[in-house]
Structure 1
Amino acid sequence: MSAPTQRGRPPRTTRRALELIAMRLFTEHGFEEVTVGQIAAEAGVSERTFFRYFPSKGEVLWHQFDDEVADLRAAFAAVADDEPMMTAVRRIVVAANRYRAEDIPELRTRMRLISGIPALSAGAGAHYDAWERAVGEFAARRLGTSADDLIPLAVGRTTLAAARAAFDAWLERGDADLTVYLDRALAALARGFTPDSRLPAGLDSTMDGV
């Protein structure tokens, strides 16, 4: 039995649809060569509609990352008081980056675009700052200090650095799930990058990138 014919106005183009179209065009033609007008035309909308969702074409690729920041904040707010701070950070960051197998190719495409295109890398600061701030604010609550104090700032920034190292190693090697890289990098951070006696000799340096 065929699906009933829909009547009335066509479905609205979503932020997600624009994101997928933009990624495809960037991959096929290059970021610099693709215009907002081309993305909008592929989606069947006006440029004005595109700009309701995104301030620029580069911001398209940060949509899901910004959603992750919101998820981190919600997860940190629910952490039990007796869970050690860095244990909670490790658990929550790893959980936020669990992807279905079918979503991995898209994730790799997105991360390669972001890391490989100077214009996108240059605009990454505000997004990474928000991610870092989410971690730092959690640390500040645990430590009873301001988020602008030294240790919360250090927790946020070193956690971001470890997570980015895990992403870079995963993109380069791809020999294990992303969460394996994240878990090992954040575990190494939590123990001060001393060797983990539970792992075979050499595994820290080959898998953690530390």
Structure 2
Amino acid sequence: MARSGRPRITSRAELERLGFELFERKGFEDTTVDDIVAAAGIGRRTFFRYFASKNDLVWGDFEGQLDRLRELLADVPAGMATAEALRTAIVEFNSFDEETVPWHRRRMDLILRVPALQADSTLRFRSWRAVVTEFAAARAGLPPTALEPRLIGATALAAAVTAYEMWLDDPGSALSDLLDATLRRLAAGI
């Protein structure tokens, strides 16, 4: 029997786009996984093959992105100062082509401004911070549990989140410029 209506959506990217459309229409809290699967024409099992939760849909391929950040940090020249290396890698990590910028803005608006996502964001930011902390520790020849690398990881995250908040507040601003400015200010000392 032929299926009528909207075609099934079965790719990770398509489910993300559909989820974001529903979040914009209904709000994040008022959109359920059942709403997403109904709109996509798929079953819950299919959804959960792609995402562990509705929150995971918002974050996309976060683990893959952390791997990319690790690669960018590994590629900075060994002689480059740690602060400069972090600034270079973090700005590059957060560089997006013009077509992707509106999509990324929607994602970060949810991540930083939806109260229901704050607990999950804390866990994800901890993972991001750990990547930076491990890099700083290796550079300094210290364990990641030492004060200096932990402080570097925490302050780099604070600088990045500050840049993102400013970017969301000013749609005409350039994220890379804001990240560059916050990380340079951090490197210069407070």
Instruction: Give the TM-score taking structure 1 as reference length.
Output: 0.82
Q: Is the 8 A contact 2:9 2:40 kept in 1?
A: no
Shift of 1:180: 0.3
SS of corresponding position for 2:99? helix
Q: Give the Å deviation of 1:64.
A: 4.2
Q: 1:189 Cα shift?
A: 0.5
Question: Partner residue of 2:23?
Answer: 26
Deviations 1:73-122 (A, max 9, x none): 11112222111111010000000111112222212211222222111122
Mapping 1:56-75, distance limit 5 Å: 56-75=53-72
TM-score by length of 2: 0.91
Over 4 Å off, 4+ runs? none
Unaligned runs of 5+ in 1: 1-9, 194-210
Superposed CA offset, 1:154-197 (max 9, x none): 0000000000000001111233210000000000001104xxxx
Match of 1:158 among 155, 159, 176: 155
Q: 1:34, CA displacement in angstroms?
A: 1.2
Task: Name the Cα RMSD after superposition.
Answer: 1.7
Shift of 1:13: 1.4
Question: Partners of 1:181 and 1:174 in 2: how far apart?
Answer: 12
Q: Within 1, Cα distance between the matches of 2:74 and 2:88?
A: 14
8 Å contact 1:90–1:187 — kept in the other structure?
yes
Any unmatched runs of 5+ in structure 2?
1-6
Aligned to 1:205: none
**1:42-73, Cα deviation, whole Å (9 max, x unpaired):** 22221011111211111111114443211111
Aligned residues: 184
Identity %: 39
From 23, 26, 40, the equivalent of 1:43 is 40
Kept after mapping to 2: 8 A contact 1:66/1:127: no
- Higher-Rg structure is 1
